[in-house]
Amino acid sequence: MTDDSTNAGRRRFLVGSTSIVGSAGVIGAAVPFVGSWNPSAKARAAGAPVRIDISRLQSGEMLGPIPAWRGQPIFIIKRSDELLSVLNEDPDRLADPDSTEPEQPQYAQNEFRSRTPDLMVLVGLCPHLFCSPIPHIELKPEPFDTEWRGGFFCPCHGSRFDLAGRVYSGSPASRNMEVPPYSFEGNDVLVIGVDEENAA
Ligand code: FES
């Protein structure tokens, strides 16, 4: 018998590769192409933008890792109100709680490190030596932290990050995880690699 909690667990990590849509347009999604910004020649040379269908992503779930943009994995998390409420309750545990270092675009230099509070977009690499951190989204004790408040744990050398990708003080990593440039096409398509600063 399958209860709601089991379903929630299964849904928590969706298979990212099935949700990537084509870079030349939107495939498999009933969302018209509405290009607000077009990538500059410089941005195209560095790596084509990637469009990702986020229409099925529900609160408390993560999409990814998606080996999508410039060969880097992308994490997309839709944070619930509960996850957002604990995000800034103890900034002293973080090395750079205000994101003063340039690991994010300007529009993500805020208390949530994102354009919209709920949707977190990260390059899924640890800034220490570039292992891919493991998502531990739920608010529950973990072997590496009995008061875990959700986030990412890097198994290589033990760096810990919160659900905004901010590194915990004392971790081998000294910087927050990177927020890539991103924008939206309508409500359902996330575009990695294109924004106000990476436009024609
Ligand atoms: S690569 Fe993540 S802690 Fe070293």
DSSP calls for the chain: ---HHHHHHHHHEE-GGGGEE-TTS--S-------S----HHHHHH---EEEE-TT--TTEEEEEEEEETTEEEEEEE--HHHHHHHTS-GGGBSSTT--SSSS-GGG-STTSSSSSSEEEEE---TTT---PEEE-SSS-BTTBTT--SEEE-TTT--EEETT-PBBTTSS--SPPPPPPEEEETTTEEEET-STTS--
pLDDT tens for the 200 residues of the chain, in order: 444 443 444 444 443 333 444 333 332 232 223 333 444 555 555 678 989 999 999 999 998 777 678 889 999 999 999 999 999 999 999 999 999 999 999 999 999 999 999 999 999 999 999 999 999 999 999 999 998 999 999 999 999 999 999 999 999 999 999 999 999 999 899 999 998 887 64
Q: Is 170 in the pocket of ligand 1 (CB under 6 A)?
A: no
- In short, whether 160's Cβ falls inside 6 Å of ligand 1 is no
Q: Which residue has the tokens 């509070």?
A: 117
Residue nearest to atom 1 of ligand 1 (CA): 129
Task: State in Å: Cα 31 to ligand 1 middle.
Answer: 38
Q: Does ligand 1 come within 6 angstroms of the Cβ of 156?
A: yes
- The CA 144 to ligand 1 mean position distance, Å, reads 14
Q: pTM for the complete prediction?
A: 0.79
Distance 134 CA to ligand 1 centre (A): 11
Q: What single letter denotes the amino acid at residue 92?
A: D
With contact defined as beta carbons under 8 Å apart, do 131 and 155 qualify?
A: yes
pLDDT of residue 8: 42
Give yes or no for a contact between 189 and 32, defined as CB atoms under 8 angstroms apart: no
